[in-house]
Structure 1
Amino acid sequence: MTDTVLLDVEGGIATVTLNRPEAMNALNRSLRRRLYEVMVEVDGREDVRAVVLTGAGERAFTAGLDLKELGREEGALGSANATDPADNPVRAIEVCSKPVIGAINGVAITGGFEVALACDVLVASSNARFADTHARVGIVPGWGLSQKLSRMIGISRAKELAFTGNFLPADKALEWGLVNHVVEPGELMPLARRLAAAMAEIDPAFLAAYKRLIDDGYAQSFAEGMALEAERSGAANSAVSPEEVEARRAAVQARGRGQG
């Protein structure tokens, strides 16, 4: 039987690949549960500092829930909307405290769009396209799309995508701030790995805490987020010695000169 989610670890970077290319990497129950297992594994591995999530092939990152499975299995949709991370792929990705880069190699449709938004950073192939077809399928989003997308690209643009079901091409996704970079297909994984490698240079415990601070603050009001930052920064920074700051400052300056 083909493994529905592949895992490769090299140089501190875990590459996680949704692997049902014949079904456009649709999220059937088996794939969702395997994704959870893999994300738990990479979160616990000391040799993994950053994660790249992508789809097999060039057609699809993931086309979302497997509609064929939904049509023949009683209760399949309810299971997919559960908060259990073994059934909900967004929750499965959120299990990982390490940075997750979504390398969007093809279409990310409906539930697949939601999976993409669960990643910390998105980079896209020029083949990538995004679509929210919940309204056309008659299913209410349950993995965060109705709330996350408007916060990322603005409420009017999010409503346009939700109410039309139209596809958003990669170049427009870049213009709207949904993705950070768009490159040709052959450059997608090298770019994602370069970003992951830069993140892997950071102390993993610090990076996990910083990711948690950003995510926790983003879920609150601006004032609450500012108070949260003040609280956590005060506790953390008081434990840092001046000598440590000076050594790191020199390293940062040297890295900046190297980047031109």
Structure 2
Amino acid sequence: MSESALKLEVIDQVAWLTINRPQALNAVNGELHTSLSRVFIDLGERRDIKAIVLTGAGKAFCAGGDIEWMRDAVRNPEQFEIVTWEAKRIVYAMLDCEIPIVGRINGDAVGLGATLALLCDITVMNDTARIGDPHVKVGLNAADGGGFLWPQMIGYGRARELLLTGDLLSAKEAVQLGAIGHALPENEIDAKVDTIVGKLRHGATKAIRWTKAGYTIPLRQLAHGHMDAGTAYECLTNLTTDHAEAIEAFAAKRKPTFTGQ
């Protein structure tokens, strides 16, 4: 995976996963999505790894869906069915993985990027970055996990507003609301991540793993109750005129004109 859209390196019992499309602000394309749907299953089986660090190359953590990938899904809706199946695997696998996942959120975490950040067990975010789920702004249902994760992380009151408007939070706001653990200047992120990883590496591995297995039970139950319906709705919104309009507007760098169709 070293030259792919998702880089994996294991050093001193720590798996470093880097979303590796910096030229596209780490926007998710087909290759990356497929890799994300499999990697946490593969890592979760290993007994030689005590922590996973998930981060992004370049300026962004993950800027959401790649525009050309979304265009392909509009042209080929049957392919989008595979995408939604993979989306479920990503959420289930990150929650099922007993190895603690540390999110090194080096830049903006948007859409699926926000979901990945929320699925991490411990998060350290660049204090100039933003996070949020703007699926509705591209005419899609928020179905890749955000629909159940945001209310659990920050409460229904604010989560409903954010999901319905697609507005983004600053890192400071995200910490205040409990979505993110730490917001630090860029030059302090690595030291904080290293400190956290050190505690996990030198801790009681089985106790740590099984503590995660316990506290994720409610989230796993919610995920299995939400994802099938959510991804079905996303398949429907993928077919709408509004979604196609949003994609073309984004590509043309103009505001979309939604008609409700």
Q: Same fold (TM over 0.5)?
A: yes
Q: Taking structure 1 as reference, are residues 123 and 61 closer, same or farther at Cα in structure 2, changes over 3 Å only?
A: same
State the match for 1:228 in structure 2: none
State the match for 2:99 in structure 1: 98
Distance apart, 1:124 and its partner CA = 0.5
* Structure 1: gaps (5+ residues): 222-260
In 2, the alpha carbon distance for the partners of 1:219 and 1:44 equals: 18
State the match for 1:64 in structure 2: 64
2:96, 2:213 within 8 Å by CA — same for their partners in 1? no
Cα deviations by residue, 1:224-254 (Å, 9 ceiling, x for unpaired): xxxxxxxxxxxxxxxxxxxxxxxxxxxxxxx
In 2, the alpha carbon distance for the partners of 1:130 and 1:140 equals: 17
Residue aligned with 1:81, SS: helix
Cα deviations by residue, 1:147-195 (Å, 9 ceiling, x for unpaired): 1111111112112212222221111111111111111112223312221
Residue aligned with 2:179, SS: coil
The CA RMSD measured in Å over matched residues stands at: 2.3
* Structure 2: gaps (5+ residues): 223-261
In 1, the alpha carbon distance for the partners of 2:68 and 2:58 equals: 21
Distance apart, 1:95 and its partner CA = 4.6
Q: Taking structure 1 as reference, are residues 218 and 45 closer, same or farther at Cα in structure 2, changes over 3 Å only?
A: closer
Sequence identity, in percent? 31
The structure with higher relative contact order (CA 8 Å, sep 6+) is 2
2:101, 2:121 within 8 Å by CA — same for their partners in 1? yes
TM-score for both structures, normalised by structure 1: 0.76
Cα deviations by residue, 1:110-148 (Å, 9 ceiling, x for unpaired): 121112111112210113201221111111122221111
In 2, the alpha carbon distance for the partners of 1:36 and 1:144 equals: 13
Q: Taking structure 1 as reference, are residues 173 and 100 closer, same or farther at Cα in structure 2, changes over 3 Å only?
A: same
In 2, the alpha carbon distance for the partners of 1:7 and 1:220 equals: 29
Which of 65, 77, 82 is the aligned partner of 1:79?
82
Residue aligned with 1:61, SS: coil
TM-score for both structures, normalised by structure 2: 0.76
The amino acid of 2:62's aligned partner reads T
1:55, 1:61 within 8 Å by CA — same for their partners in 2? yes
Q: Taking structure 1 as reference, are residues 80 and 218 closer, same or farther at Cα in structure 2, changes over 3 Å only?
A: closer
